[in-house]
Amino acid sequence: MEEQKTQHTVLQKTARIILKVVLFLFLFIILVFVLLLTPPVQRFASQQAAHYLEKKLGTKVAIGGVSIGLPRRVALNNIYIEDKTRDTLLYGGSIKVDIALLKLLSGEVIVKEVRLADMTAKVKRVLPDTAFNFQFIIDAFAPTAPTTPTDTTSAALKLEVDNVYLDNCRAIYKDVITGNDMLLQIGSMDAGIDSLDLNTPLYKLGTVNVKNVVAVLRQSKPLATPEPPSKDSVDAQQPITMKLGFDKVNLDNIKIDYGNDVSAFYTNLNVDQLVLDGNNLDLQNRIIHFDKLKIDNTNTAIRLGKKEEAKMVAKEAKQEIQAQAEAAWVVRLDDIEINNNTFAFDNDNDPRQPYGIDYAHMKADSLTLHAQDFVMNTDSIGLLITEGRFREKSGF
C-alpha cells in the first residue's frame, strides 16, 4: 500500500514538473512574440539585420526599420544597399511581405503577397568587369560546393507567391556590353501568380494590371547585325523551353520612348488602354491563342533614319518575320477591338511620294478595326471584319 502511494506521489510530482515546463515554454514563446512587436526590439532587429548583411556582402547596408507582425507579416523600411563600387544598388521606401514564417522551418516559402513601394534599383554593367553590379549578392548567398556526396533525392525548395504589388517603383539600367541605357518608372502594378516553379521554366500569371508607366531606352550599339536568311531560319526552329501564360493583362497610360542613333531607329508608343485576354500561350508548340485584344486611343510613331544601318534594320526585320512565319506558328485572336488609334511610319531612306498613299511615309488617325476569328498560320491569314476605318494624311 505504501509502495502504491509513493508511486502515485512520484507521478503527481512528475506531472506537475512537466506541466510547469510546458507552461514556461508557452509563456516564453508568448513573451518573444510580444517583444518582437515592440518598437525597441524591432529597431534592434533592423540594426542586427543590417549588420549581418554588411558583413555578409562586404558593402554598406542600412535598414531604417523592421516591422514584424506574427505569424505572417514582415516589413522593411528605408532600405539602402551599395554595390562593390560604392554606388547605390537599391534604396527607397518599403518592402512588405505576407509570408508564412513557420513554414520556413520545413523548407517551404509560402508568400501570400509582396509589396514594394517607393523603391529604386540601379542595375549596371561597366567595363572592365563583365558581371552585373548585383552579382556579389548572388555569390554571397550561393551554396558552397559540398565536400561529401549529398542526397540528390531530397525534396526541392517549395516556393509559392500569390500576388506582387508595385507602387511608385523605378529601375535604372545601364549596360555598356550591350549598349543599353534605360529608365523605367512604374506608377502601379499588381499581378497574381498562379504558378511559379523554380525547377522548371514555368510561369503562369493571373490578372496583371499596370498603370502610369514611363520607359525611356537608348541604345548605343546597332539594333541588328547582318545575318544570312539561313541563320534566322535555324534560330526560328530552335525549341522554346519556357512555359508562360496569363489570364488577362490590362495596360493604362503607358509611354515608351526608344531610340538608337547608331541604327537610326526610333519608336514612340503612347498607350492609353490595352487589354489582352489570354487563352492558350504555348510557346513550346508555337501556339498563341487570345480571347480578346482591345487597344484604345494609342499613338504609335516609328522612324527609320537616313543611314545604311537603318536599311539593314528593315532588311533584318523582314528576314526575321519570314523565318518565324515558316516556323509553323499558329496565332489566333477570337475578338479584336481597336478604337481611335494613330499610327505614323517614316523611312527617311525612301523619297516622299507627291500623291497617293506613301507606304514609306504614312500617318493614319482615327484608326478603328473590329474583327473576329483572326487566324494566322504558315500558309494563310484570315479574319472576319465587322467594322473598319481610318484617315490617312494623303486624304484617303
- Overall average pLDDT of the 170-196 stretch: 90
The region, left, alpha or beta by phi > 0 then psi within -120 to 50, assigned to residue 118 is: left
Q: Are residues 21 and 66 in the same domain?
A: no
**Is residue 146 assigned to a domain?**
no
Residue 326 has pLDDT above 70, yes or no: no
**Is residue 263 assigned to a domain?**
yes
Q: Are residues 371 and 265 in the same domain?
A: yes
- Per-residue pLDDT at 65: 80
Q: Are residues 10 and 62 in the same domain?
A: no
- Overall average pLDDT of the 346-362 stretch: 88
**Is residue 71 assigned to a domain?**
yes
- Overall average pLDDT of the 105-121 stretch: 83
Alpha helices in 226-380 (DSSP H): 229-237, 308-325
**Is residue 388 assigned to a domain?**
yes
Q: Are residues 274 and 348 in the same domain?
A: yes
Q: Are residues 20 and 127 in the same domain?
A: no
Separation between Cα atoms, residue 84 and residue 66, nearest integer Å: 25
Q: Are residues 170 and 231 in the same domain?
A: no
Q: Which of 115, 144, 177 is the last residue of a domain?
A: 177
- Overall average pLDDT of the 60-71 stretch: 78
Chain length of the chain: 396
Percent of the chain with pLDDT over 90: 32
CB 294 within 8 A of CB 333: no
**Is residue 142 assigned to a domain?**
no
- Is residue 217 very low, low, confident or very high in pLDDT (cuts 50, 70, 90)? very high
**Is residue 183 assigned to a domain?**
no
Q: Are residues 114 and 32 in the same domain?
A: no
Q: State pTM to two decimals.
A: 0.75
- Overall average pLDDT of the 161-170 stretch: 92
**Average pLDDT of every residue of the chain:** 79
- Is residue 387 very low, low, confident or very high in pLDDT (cuts 50, 70, 90)? very high
- Per-residue pLDDT at 109: 74
Q: Which residue has the cell 539585420?
A: 49
The region, left, alpha or beta by phi > 0 then psi within -120 to 50, assigned to residue 373 is: left
Domain with 2 in it:
1-36
* Among 208, 353, 376, 195, CA closest to 287: 376
Q: Are residues 296 and 313 in the same domain?
A: yes
Q: Are residues 272 and 307 in the same domain?
A: yes
Q: Are residues 282 and 329 in the same domain?
A: yes
- How many domains, in total, are found in the chain? 3
- Per-residue pLDDT at 205: 84
Q: Are residues 23 and 48 in the same domain?
A: no
**Is residue 182 assigned to a domain?**
no
Q: Are residues 119 and 221 in the same domain?
A: no
Q: What are the distances in angstroms from CA 280 to CA 194, 247, 289?
A: 15, 9, 5
Residue 258 has pLDDT above 90, yes or no: yes
Residue 119 has pLDDT above 80, yes or no: yes
Q: What are the distances in angstroms from CA 121 to CA 215, 288, 300?
A: 14, 33, 29
Separation between Cα atoms, residue 63 and residue 92, nearest integer Å: 10
**Is residue 186 assigned to a domain?**
no
